[in-house]
């Protein structure tokens, strides 16, 4: 078992090469969850988001992570899920940088799904 702490951990997803595990957890101390990464074999856990975020999924080439984040109606990110008005899809680099909204503000969307195959 990789994650044995007292925290709620969910939504595990491995990078395409199997070297990194991303997951949602409430270990940030907010009223919600954030996204974290760690080496697949265990090791240091790195926070990737500070605001409420869940359902991380790597793109097939491993260059981005798609995820769901909570916002206010005006699009401000929230840390406390009770202040959220909507959900949107976003993406980021595997190190948590370059976070971008992926859905128009007029659409509420959640739980990204990565398709594959040809």
CA nearest neighbour of 57 among 102, 6, 27, 26: 102
Q: Is the pLDDT of residue 3 over 70?
A: no
- Tell me the C-alpha distance between 19 and 80, whole Å: 31
Residue, of 51 and 115, whose pLDDT is higher: 51
- Tell me the C-alpha distance between 50 and 69, whole Å: 11
40 phi-psi bin (left φ>0, alpha ψ -120 to 50, beta other): alpha
Report residue 112 as tokens.
């990204």
pTM: 0.87
87 with 69: CB under 8 angstroms?
Answer: yes
Q: Is the pLDDT of residue 116 over 60?
A: no
CA nearest neighbour of 108 among 91, 90, 92, 89: 89
28 with 35: CB under 8 angstroms?
Answer: no
**Which region among 20-24, 36-40, 65-69, 106-110 has the lowest average model confidence (pLDDT)?**
106-110
pLDDT score, position 70: 92
């Amino acid at each position: 078992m990789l994650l044995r702490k007292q925290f709620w951990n969910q939504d595990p997803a491995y990078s395409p090469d199997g070297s990194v595990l991303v997951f949602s957890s409430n270990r940030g101390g907010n009223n919600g969850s954030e996204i974290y990464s760690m080496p697949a074999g265990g090791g240091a856990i790195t926070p990737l988001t500070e605001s409420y975020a869940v359902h991380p999924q790597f793109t097939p080439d491993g260059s981005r992570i798609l995820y769901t984040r909570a916002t206010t109606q005006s699009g401000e990110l929230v840390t406390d899920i009770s202040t959220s008005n909507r959900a949107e899809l976003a993406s980021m680099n595997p190190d948590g940088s370059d976070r971008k909204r992926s859905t128009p503000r007029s659409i509420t969307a959640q739980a990204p799904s990565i398709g594959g195959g040809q």
